Amino acid sequence: MLLLAAPMPFAASFAQDFDAAQPTVLITGSNRGLGFAFAEHYAKRGWNVIATTRSPESSKELAALADEYERVRVEQLDVTDYAGITALADAYAGTAIDVLINNAGIYGDRDRQAWGSLDPEMFHTINAINVLGPLKIAEAFAAHVAASRHKKIVSITSGAGSVSPDRVAGGGVFYGISKAALNMAMRKAGAELAEHGIIVATIAPGLVLTDMLKTNRPSLAPRARSATEAVDAMAAVIDSLDQTYDGQPRNFDGSVLPW
């Protein structure tokens, strides 16, 4: 049985500007793309937002968002810095986190994960960020989520992680493996946290016009939607999650993602 720390009053100094009557969301990788769109989405809804990024000093858009919305806090966090994850969780002890969004992720260098040139170092880097990072975040903040009203942990997956015969394509070998592994990692987390009423879900955004897509799959860009459109759709799916959720990865439209 996983033992969670007893919830403390909503009075952590790091959350002093938060409204205890409003839900709280924590988002990793918030400086651009889907992460920034999530931060903006929840800020506009009046939520308390903990927006994390590896380099707050260079995240000008995020800083501007925090200036506009008083309940947005920008925090430094590298999802491969496990001591840093623990430190941030400790800093927010007593803060109930209703929705935890594991968004931070990388595609990785295309050439170093191409068949015939598979680079072990790149494999470990991608999986450290895309798989172990979300798992450690979920572990560190489990007590915060358990103490909330919504009790949801959501990780951003991808159709590239599907192992269905009609969906597996060439290229991006390590990225696809990492997303398949993320799906399993979150199923394991869900099994560990179910007794605490926590819903652990994975959602795929579909084709989104992010820097990742433009750099690694530029041919798909004309078919992609904006990050704002993708996040609005995924947020609706997150809102709909309840105890009937079966653990299967979902698409942005709520349909089951073949896995």
pLDDT for residue 169 = 67
Burial of 47 (0-12, 13-18, 19+ CB in 10 A): buried
User: Would 257 be classed as within a structural domain?
Assistant: no
Q: What is the mean pLDDT of residues 125-148?
A: 98
Determine the residue type at 80. T
> 73 by DSSP, 3-state: which?
strand
User: Would 160 be classed as within a structural domain?
Assistant: yes
User: Would 6 be classed as within a structural domain?
Assistant: no
Q: What does the mean pLDDT of the chain come to?
A: 91
- What is the C-alpha separation between 142 and 193, in angstroms, rounded? 8
Convert the pLDDT of each residue in 64-107 to its tens digit.
999 999 999 999 999 999 999 999 999 999 999 999 999 999 99
Identify the weakest region by mean pLDDT among 159-163, 167-171, 194-198, 211-215. Answer: 167-171
pLDDT for residue 9 = 41
> pLDDT band at 167, cuts 50/70/90?
low
User: Would 7 be classed as within a structural domain?
Assistant: no
User: Would 152 be classed as within a structural domain?
Assistant: yes
Q: Tell the residue number behind the tokens 């839900």, with chain if given.
A: 23
Convert the pLDDT of each residue in 103-117 to its tens digit.
999 999 999 999 999
Q: Which residue has the higher pLDDT, 210 or 178?
A: 178
Measured in Å, how far apart are the chain's first and last C-alpha atoms?
28
pLDDT for residue 3 = 44
User: Would 2 be classed as within a structural domain?
Assistant: no
User: Would 256 be classed as within a structural domain?
Assistant: no
* Structural domain count, the chain: 1
Q: Structural domain of residue 216, as residue ranges?
A: 13-251
pLDDT for residue 202 = 98
Percent of the chain's residues with pLDDT above 90: 80
> Would you please indicate which residues are annotated as catalytic (active-site) residues?
175
- Residue 257: CA atoms inside 13 Å, Cβ hemisphere, count? 27
- Cβ–Cβ under 8 Å, residues 175 and 215: no
- What is the C-alpha separation between 31 and 102, in angstroms, rounded? 13
Asked if residue 209 has pLDDT above 50, the reply is yes
pTM to 2 decimals? 0.91
User: Would 120 be classed as within a structural domain?
Assistant: yes
Convert the pLDDT of each residue in 9-58 to its tens digit.
444 456 778 999 999 999 999 999 999 999 999 999 999 999 999 999 99
CATH number at residue 235: 3.40.50.720
- Cβ–Cβ under 8 Å, residues 120 and 146: no
